[in-house]
Structure 1
Amino acid sequence: MMEQQSKVMDDHILWRPSEQQVAESNIKKFSQQTGIPFEPYEHMHRWSVAEPGAFWSAVWEFSGIIGEKGETVYLPPEDGGMLGAKWFPEAEINLAENLLRGDGSREAVYEADERGVQRKVDMGELRIMVAKAQEGLRQLGVRAGDRVAGIVKNDLQSLVALLATSSLGAVWSSCSPDFGAKGVLDRIGQVQPKILIASPEYHYNGKFFDIRDNISAVSAELESLSAVVCLSDTPGLVLETEAELLTWNELLENDAETPAFTRVPFDHPLYILYTSGTTGLPKSIVHSVGGVLLQHVKEHQLHCDVKEGDVLSWYTSTSWMMYPWLVSGLASGASILLYDGSPVRKDNLGILWEVAEEVGVTHFGTSPKYLATLEKCGYDVGGNHDLQALKSLMTTGAPLIAEQYTWIYETVKEDLFLASISGGTEIIGCFFMGTPAHPVRRGEITCKALGMAVDILDHRGASVVGRKGELVCTEPFPSMPLTFWGEEGDERYFNAYFKAHEGIWTHGDLVEETPAGTFIIHGRTDTVLNPGGVRIGTAEIYRVVEQIPEITDSLVFGFPMDNDEEIALCIVTEEGGAEAKLAEEIRQDVRRKASPRHVPRRIYTVKEVPYTNNGKKVEGAVRSIVRGQDVKNKESLKNPECLEEYISLAESDYL
């Protein structure tokens, strides 16, 4: 019987690292340095949360953090909870100093867009650019603690602006240029920056967009603003403010060639990131210099196995947490690929892979939705591209379903370290990741991240395995937010993550730990369906529905019925409509592959599914509209106009 069970479990394994891969991995070297075995992994993980001072000190040493470390590593909260922990209280560090390290001749940045690779810059060139931008910002009065905001593309200029800001000990916050003026003000308007750095135009999917009017409108509302830096030689901006207007080249007109680094305390503010919720103003989450740096080098080196000379990419906008995550790759000696534009064009489905092939990307980061698009189009990634350099494929932003695991190994590359990772803007990192020493199991995230005391609790508050529960974290970690920016920030922070379970971080994900010690994400708890009192994660339905060829997109939400709710499914099809035959196929597939409880009672055809600017479906917005409630923060949506067709959904016929 045990042999049969073992065989079934082995059938789920799609990839195993070779002995050589394990021996050469960073986590193996870290194990040797610390004397803590990484096999079984649970041993190392338990040590990392039981001895946080020893673990995070070892991460600092292993990754070669530049700065003054101090003697004290960790001071636990006085009340025994999670808030109030002190990490490296005597330390002084600077993010840019750690990112601009290494041989000046090594490739540091590749810049690409929808036309392909446009530029490559070595570390020596990057340091000079940052030195000039730093001096320009200093002449504009930027000092440690000041806020510098960007409405910027994912390109070289934006990276230099971020690094120059952080080199001065100032605080960086950014939005992508596809946000409207109100969307930008809902975010950076909260933090009132001293300097605004803006891209006046951008290209997406072959189309040109001019946002000068938006920049002018935003500038007029920022009372704190002293200067606007336009990332163009011909700004064409008319500012209705007394703020100084200058171009990027004018900012860089100085003789500086070597950047100076203002070292700041470990818990000094570095980034202000924003959630993309639609229930009110985005939360302005303040992250520390030390927390960001230490969390990222841990994740890059120990979990993703990023090494010196690797090339790290992630398809992201400057609004998403994966942008600073990508940028931090420089601290591990990797080159980073910055890509601005659409990941998929009708005339070129493989532009990201073309770029990856050309520059030799070793770690390719993307979203499950992007991979699903390629799969439905029948795009043969491995057949069309030489991916000899590719070692790892990473995904986040949504659960990677089991069928996609299989497709990746059949279509992209057989020998590939696949890592579905999961965390959040709130922690600027991950709770669940992979490691290069673990096998990859179909449809499952590999392990808890080191240093993260993750647990799964049921409705009683009891830890569970093999059943869905709420994701929590029970011990402090360095990348916990400092606060939420603005009035009553500490109180709003507490209410967001600590109100549900006293002294415990409640993240808001519905998760299941398997008997094998892996994890399955079933969706956000605020979108969990409860038909008949049974908790169902929306990801369980998406997993089935989005494998049906005729369906190009879908959205699931709870349709209110008296004191209960019914499962409602909205589908987008290639033909723009659907017949009863397709609806019956959907219900049969869901019943067979999930359960009878998952079967949608209502199936509607729609033209489009609403997404946030960061590419996440917004079930909550549709649920609110159907219930006659307003969506308060439509500026968080990439396509808010599509909500119009959902207003009359309750009166519409369904399949």
Structure 2
Amino acid sequence: MVQEGELLWTPRPEFAQRSQLARYQNWLRERRGLDFALDDYAGLWRWSVDQPEQFWETIWDYFDVQATVPFSRVLDRRQMPGVKWFEDSRLNYAEHMLRHEAIAPDAVVFHHRSETRPLAQMRWRDLGAQVRVLATRLRALGVRPGDRVVSYMPNVPETAIAMLATTAIGATWSSAAPEFGVKTVIERFSQIEPKVLFAADGYRFGGKDFARAAEVRRIVDALPSLETVVWLPHLDPQAAPPAWPQLRSWADVMDHAPVSREAFRYEQVAYDHALWVVFSSGTTGLPKAIVHSHVGALLEHLKLLHFHLNLGPESVMFFYSTTGWMMWNLLLAALLTGSAVVLYDGNPAHPSPDFLWQLAADTGTTSFGASPTYVQMMEKAGLVPRERFDLSRLESIVVAGAPSTPETFAWFYRSVKQDLWVTSQSGGTELCSGFVGAAPTLPVHAGEIQTRLLGMDVHAFTDDGREIVDEVGELVVTTPFPSMPIRFWNDDGDKRYRESYFEVFPNVWRHGDFIKINARGGCYIYGRSDSTLNRFGVRIGTAEIYRAVEQVPEVADSLIVCVELPGGNFFMPLFVRLKPGIALDEALGKRINAKLREDCSPRHVPDRIYAVEAIPYTLTGKKMEVPVRKLLLGWPLEKAASRDAMMNPEAIDWYVRFADTSTDYDWRGKSRQQASA
């Protein structure tokens, strides 16, 4: 079995030397007199965080960022929050995303497929033309800079066109996936009072149709600010649209003469103008409406997609995502590099479990992205993609959405390709990017995130604010970065923003993840720090529990929480979903505990093990540790979790019953009073 930290891959010299990162280092040497050896990523990173003004100005210059008004200074101060980046500049994010149209108008920009549409391609010239038509029509419909435009659409080219058109005219974009429940959508969009809604009639998933006209009607009724609904007949293109007074069909809106690149005017917006609003998961409480700026997202995405994902005009990027996850925004950001993008809407395992690998082969994907959950599904199904598909163009793997195990890494090398840059990333919706991730000049070690990303001054802190190495601590960022949220929507005095990230360590961003950074700079993420397992004063990340438990053959999935008991004690139950036909008996329980004791430590052994019907997940594939913990602490379901934010809402019912009826421990005590207060 592969060991954590085991060396799995070293980049070939030619791979490292032709990387986007190496080209930037050559430019630094020639244009700035900064000489960093190709194998000295650590020195390059240290300079990028010690001299943030100098580093981010080189990003602006290296990528030839176009602004109609230049910036007066890169950064106004280094004390967070409330910093200003590239002050006084005026530019447009969408204009930069579509710059490649002028370079290679006939090149493919989108490979797109859904369960209702066969694989097809879109060229840069067609994308640019459609964006300009829609942007012009939105202006004619009265959309002005700063107005909000929202989407309830699947992952299809029309949604990308709508986002680009919205951004091109300086309006503010926000998106929800069509599988989101009505309450979840209303909770999000009602906060920002949109003027226009793009909506689809439904979607198909796993061969089953999901009509959404009734849901859209309820959403529209709950948003009095809406003036226009643009209707896309995705599920049934022949069906007549609803007879709503504010409704316009996609076809009618787009049925206008194309606008040339020369004649079209991109709205040049201020450095602190709202690009989009993305929302926190909403598993507890009202989702945070997180606002990013044009300049912040542009500089961060130029850096990330080029240097840390190594994308360029010859690349084809695929990441399985819905339109309700920030990874969709990041997938489209690949256009900044000239890369083609694969858009897929549907079940990743339909019509066959290895369908996404077929899609990768058909599109010539060079960078393939998915979650660790998907990899576990592949491994348990015994699939070996390299035996069935031509993956000769595949160069890199992007694993994101949850902590990756050494076994996840090893599966790719064993089942996909031996010469493969397997990367794990971790960041968040808050920055629409990553804090830690990949570098094409570094080796890959099992289960290890290669490095801290350039410009991200990431450290592990103890509870009292001391930096630690080779130990698990709080993930913090001690220097500002451009893609920090400029604010939360409707957050007077930035109160909720400050409480979310700056309440624990003044002027230091506390992200809410546990991280370990080893002596060579490799990183390990151990799950959310607010779902931490605290046994006898030792903090335990949930990811290491899952890695051990899910190696037990009878276990299909698991979830663990730690609940504070009155008197300062703790109760740590482990919930396991077993494979069909397996029962949780004393022998199996002992084997699970022995595995945890052997692979981890005695402190990792739970107080009790319970067999459950299902493990609850959010819509973005994260285990719902915190809501389950709150249920056990006595919180009512409506305060602990939102069903509409769950992938499998019925899964939570078992835990509600368990919290109400279990007599194993009286863990609720004072917490019931706190939860109801």
Structure 1 length normalisation: TM-score?
0.95
Q: What is the match of residue 86 of structure 1? A: 84
Q: What do residues 128-181 of structure 1 show as CA deviations (whole Å, max 9, x unaligned)? A: 111221122112111111100000101111011111101101110000001111
Q: Which residues in structure 2 correspond to 1:220-619 (within 5 Å)?
A: 220-232=221-233, 234=239, 236-237=241-242, 239=244, 244-258=246-260, 259-345=264-350, 347-488=351-492, 490-562=494-566, 563-575=568-580, 577-619=583-625
Distance 1:324 1:70 in 2: 26
* Aligned partners of 1:114 and 1:351 also within 8 Å: no
Q: Deviations over 1:365-411 (max 9, x none)?
A: 11000001100111112112111010000111111101111111111
- Give 3-state SS (helix, strand or coil) of 1:648's partner: helix
Question: Residues 64-122 of structure 1, C-alpha deviation per residue, up to 9 Å, x if partnerless?
Answer: 33334725342333xx5212322212322112211112221111111112478521000
SS of residue paired to 2:496: helix
Q: 1:21 aligns with which of 12, 15, 22?
A: 15
Give the whole-Å Cα distance in 2 for the aligned partners of 1:486 and 1:117: 42
Distance in structure 1 (CA, Å) of the matches to 2:191 and 2:502: 23
Equivalent residue number for residue 121 of structure 1:
122
Query: What secondary structure is seen at the aligned counterpart in 1 of 2:379?
Result: helix
SS at match of 1:530: strand
In 2 relative to 1, CA 141–496 (structure 1 residues): closer, same or farther, beyond 3 Å? same
Q: Deviations over 1:324-361 (max 9, x none)?
A: 1000100101001111011113x401111111100100
Partner of 2:58: 58
Which letter maps to 2:622?
K
The CA distance in 2 between the partners of 1:184 and 1:277, in whole Å, is: 10
- The CA deviation at 1:275 is 0.4
Asked if the contact 1:92–1:265 (Cα under 8 Å) also holds between the matched residues in 2, the reply is: yes
1:133 aligned partner, one-letter code: L
Residue aligned with 1:460, SS:
coil
> Where does structure 2 lack aligned partners over 5 or more consecutive residues?
665-677
What's the counterpart of residue 642 of structure 1? Answer: 651
Amino acid paired to 1:31: Q
> Counterpart of 1:42?
42
Change beyond 3 A, Cα 1:617–1:238:
farther
* Shift of residue 277, structure 1, vs aligned partner: 3.5
Q: Is the 8 A contact 1:135 1:256 kept in 2?
A: no
Taking the aligned partners of 1:629 and 1:151, their CA distance within structure 2 comes to: 31
- Structure 2 residue identity aligned to 1:67: A
- SS of the residue 2:467 aligns to: coil
- What per-residue deviation string (whole Å, max 9, x for no partner) do you get for residues 526-559 of structure 1? 0001122221111110111122232221111114
Deviates more, 1:89-98 or 1:592-601: 89-98
Against the structure 1 CA distance between its residues 359 and 485, is the aligned structure 2 distance closer, same or farther, given a 3 Å change threshold?
A: same
Q: Give CA-to-partner distance per residue, 1:312-332, whole Å, 9 cap, x none.
A: 111111111111100010010
Give me the whole-angstrom Cα distance separating, in 2, the residues matched to 1:267 and 1:547.
48
Contact 2:491-2:497 at 8 Å conserved across structures: no
Change (3 A) 1:386 1:28: same
Counterpart secondary structure, 1:110: strand
Encode CA deviations 1:538-597: one digit per residue, 9 max, x unaligned: 111011112223222111111444332222111112216433322222111111111111
| Greater CA drift, 32-41 or 520-529 | 32-41
Aligned residue for 1:270, secondary structure, equals strand
How far off is 1:10 after superposition? Answer: 12
SS at match of 1:322: helix
Does the CA contact (< 8 Å) of 1:557 and 1:568 recur in 2? yes
- Is the contact between residue 571 and residue 604 of structure 1 (CA under 8 Å) also seen in structure 2? yes
CA offset at residue 274 of structure 1? 0.4
SS, match of residue 94 in structure 2? helix
Paired letter, 1:596:
P
Which residue number in structure 1 is paired with residue 206 of structure 2? 205
1:153 aligns with 2:154: yes
Counterpart amino acid of residue 124 in structure 1: R
Counterpart CA distance in 2 for 1:197 and 1:544 is 44
Query: 1:467 corresponds to which letter in structure 2?
Result: E
**Distance in 2 (alpha carbons) for counterparts of 1:63 and 1:597:** 50
Q: Is the 8 A contact 1:392 1:419 kept in 2?
A: yes
What is the 5 A alignment of 1:125-144? Answer: 125-144=126-145
CA contact (8 A) 1:422 1:431 kept: yes
Q: Using the alignment, how far apart are the partners of 1:86 and 1:533 within structure 2?
A: 40
- Secondary structure of the residue that 1:214 maps to in structure 2? helix
Aligned residues: 641
Contact kept in structure 2, 1:313 and 1:336, CA below 8 Å: yes
Pick the aligned partner of 1:12 from 2, 6, 12: 6
Name the SS for the 2:358 alignment partner.
Answer: helix
Separation in 1, partners of 2:174, 2:5: 46
Q: List structure 1 runs of 4+ shifted beyond 4 angstroms.
A: 8-11, 650-654
Pairwise CA RMSD of aligned residues? 1.9
The structure-2 alpha-carbon separation of the partners of 1:403 and 1:636, relative to structure 1 and needing over 3 Å to count, comes to same
Q: Write the distance in 2 (CA, Å) between the matches of 1:401 and 1:477.
A: 28
SS of 1:414 mapped into structure 2: coil
* Match among 10, 25, 38 for residue 31 of structure 1: 25
Cα distance, 1:636–1:420 mapped onto 2, change above 3 Å: same
Gaps of 5+ in 1: 1-7
* Match of residue 94, structure 2, among 85, 93, 96: 96
Residue of structure 1 equivalent to 2:669: none
Q: 608-617 or 228-237: which moved more?
A: 228-237
Secondary structure of residue in 1 paired with 2:584: coil
Q: Which amino acid aligns with 2:644?
A: E
Output the CA distance in 2 between the equivalents of 1:608 and 1:589.
22
Match of 2:670 in 1: none
